[in-house]
Amino acid sequence: VQLQASGGGLVQAGGSLRLSCAASGGTFSRYTIAWFRQAPGKEREFVAAASWSGGGTTYADSVKGRFTISRDSPRRTVYLQMNSLKPDDTAVYYCAARSLISTKANDYDYWGQGTQVTVSS
């Protein structure tokens, strides 16, 4: 499966952005899609994931209540709605796919190219 992330940009603290991850190839309904992010000098960290099985979702504690992950199966797209953004959310955001849900980056088989999110204070 090929993944294309988009929607990043520059936003002020407290603002919102919606990221999109469009999938092509493969059987979209069989993949868990997750979002990770990586800030300069830091390791890639888990943000959120949406399971193909039963529509379950999971979030990092740092984004719970602010970010929402959702799937649009007909459009083969997963969205990450980010509200109440903070400067600490500044990072390159990547979407990734694998069969079973996981919060570990090394578990994911397929990756998109990343989209930059910058939150100014």
pLDDT at 54: 59
- How many Cα atoms sit within 13 Å of 81 on the Cβ side? 7
pLDDT at 80: 98
CA–CA gap between residue 44 and residue 91 (Å, rounded): 9
Of 22, 21, 12, 20, the closest CA to residue 89 belongs to 12
CA–CA gap between residue 17 and residue 4 (Å, rounded): 17
CA–CA gap between residue 60 and residue 25 (Å, rounded): 28
**Taking a C-beta distance cutoff of 8 angstroms, is the pair 100, 32 a contact?**
yes
pLDDT at 103: 96
Point out the residues of the chain with pLDDT beneath 70.
53-54
If you ran DSSP here, which 8-state letter would residue 53 be given? S
**Taking a C-beta distance cutoff of 8 angstroms, is the pair 77, 23 a contact?**
yes
pLDDT at 88: 97
pLDDT at 73: 86
Q: Tokens for 72?
A: 């649009």
pLDDT at 29: 78
pLDDT at 25: 86
Quick: pLDDT tens for 88-109. 999 999 999 999 999 999 999 9
pLDDT at 120: 97
CB atoms closer than 10 angstroms to residue 98: 18
